[in-house]
Structure 1
């Protein structure tokens, strides 16, 4: 990572922060074909939804209807012509898989409920304000755009910002740290001026009295 001072004094690389697996490789464009494929598929889906007037539910329903119609006609014609039936995989969920997924969902839901309870009972004020700001931002952004456009824009940000940051992190960290220190200096100066004005005001009141 070099000897340059890092933002937030972090020790890990961007790739490690993102998990270090396939997801991190895709986000940082180390799997360029896969990253580009995801981007193009998402862009195509966005164009289809925006230009065709389809909603997600209507599009999924239409695709499933077409798929089932093709398989049904294939199976019927295969029975008449003594041909093989459609090569479908076995559609079956084992009890073990269901229990595993249920356990994962249960753990996350319980964690969410626990956090929600702490917020509702006022046990964590900082978390309350964070959640409130986050929900307000979602509400504000949701009022400016629709869900699909927001999802596509979010994907663009995910597939560009981390990769650009990793490429130019030395320069970005240096600029951000310098800006942060400048703001600290301005805040300290402003704080001193406010304290001085308050003291002068108190002294003047004492003299007048």
Structure 2
């Protein structure tokens, strides 16, 4: 959109004719790809908001809380700088120390899985649940 706008506004400088809007077409594969991604995104939001998968709902709540905590302590520009710095350095460090990082990641995953099982056993299993009604989609 921006490229077409700039083309319309500055095309007279270099004698370029603006494009005909009726001739601009997207291939069907591109439209299907975009639709598939948007559909997946909406279904994921629906799954989170419906509460069918409590683990996903809990993960979404925790992620939003972590983002809000980070946002209170770090400005947007500093956060952008940190993200760019990590994108430049972390792949190289992972390539050098792949085995050690994988071992630590496996240990952390197991500890988080045990923590979630304990949390589920001590807190979530004590929440009373009513009878489950079958959903009907028309």
**Which TM class, normalised by the smaller chain length?**
0.5 to 0.7
Q: How does 1:125-144 map to 2 (within 5 A)?
A: 125-144=54-73
TM-score (norm 1): 0.38
Q: How far apart, in 2, do the equivalents of 1:100 and 1:87 lie?
A: 33
Of 111, 120, 130 in structure 1, the residue corresponding to residue 40 of structure 2 is 111
Offset from partner CA, 1:109-145 (integer Å, 9 cap, x none): 2212212222222210111111111111222222222
Matched, 1:155 2:84: yes
Q: How far apart, in 1, do the equivalents of 2:73 and 2:79 lie?
A: 9
Partner of residue 33, structure 1: none
SS in 1 for 2:58: helix
SS in 2 for 1:108: helix
Q: Which aligned runs of 4 or more in structure 1 are off by greater than 6 angstroms? A: none
Partner of residue 86, structure 1: 14
Q: How far apart, in 2, do the equivalents of 1:151 and 1:164 lie?
A: 20
Q: How far apart, in 2, do the equivalents of 1:102 and 1:119 lie?
A: 26
Gaps of 5+ in 1: 1-63, 76-84, 188-209
Partner of residue 180, structure 1: 107
Q: How does 1:1-209 map to 2 (within 5 A)?
A: 71=10, 75=12, 85-86=13-14, 91=19, 94-97=23-26, 101-173=30-102, 176=104, 180=107
- When the two chains are superposed, the root-mean-square deviation of aligned CA atoms in Å is 3.7
Number of residue pairs aligned between Structure 1 and Structure 2:
103
